[in-house]
Structure 1
């Protein structure tokens, strides 16, 4: 278990969730994006509750170990959340113009590639 301290307080969660959050925040540091992530947190009454964290390039966490449960119990009680995609996300166009858009894109990238060789 880990205690994560941040500007607004602290939460206790699993090692796996903490590792995922720290990896994600370091990836987010290269962007201008803020995202929300729902994480399972251990409350003072030993119940778990879902908390929504706002993560941004400015997020700063202090992490320390907390005694309390086995790794197997952590895995069962604290599922690792799905983290939102970072950066540009492509979409698939489903209109009748999709073929023409793809052809235009392929033509432009070919022109760029050909221009770089000169």
Structure 2
């Protein structure tokens, strides 16, 4: 189990959940948007409850092992959180073309997908 200090408070959760949070924050820390993620937390009375964490570019987590042994059934009590997909959909591969061309094609692809996503919410029957 891991004790996470976050936004001035502490939460107790499973090892895998803490690792997933650290991985997400360090991998996506350069983004400009914040995301909300639900995680299961062990309350002081021993019950578990879902907490929503807001993770963004300035998120700082301090993660520490707790003194107790691994909790039996930890994975069932603390399932891995579901993170929103990253907004980067394509990256450049400069192996075939110049770096500038690859960057242009990746950005063009991302713009096209964003346009499709925006259009997907339209009602065409009206």
TM-score (norm 2): 0.67
Aligned residue in 1 for 2:106: none
1:56-99 per-position Cα deviation (integer Å, ceiling 9, x unaligned): 010001111013453641112111011111224645666xxxxx
Does residue 8 (structure 1) correspond to residue 38 (structure 2)? The answer is no
Find runs of 4+ consecutive structure 1 residues off by over 6 angstroms.
Answer: none
Aligned residue in 1 for 2:46: 46
Runs of 5+ consecutive residues of structure 1 not aligned to the other structure:
95-118
Runs of 5+ consecutive residues of structure 2 not aligned to the other structure:
90-112, 121-126
Aligned residue in 1 for 2:80: 80
Aligned residue in 2 for 1:101: none
Q: Tell me the matched-pair count.
A: 94
Q: C-alpha root-mean-square deviation of aligned residues, in Å? A: 1.9
TM-score (norm 1): 0.71
Aligned residue in 1 for 2:17: 17
Could you say which structure has the greater relative contact order, defined with CA pairs below 8 angstroms and 6 or more residues apart?
1
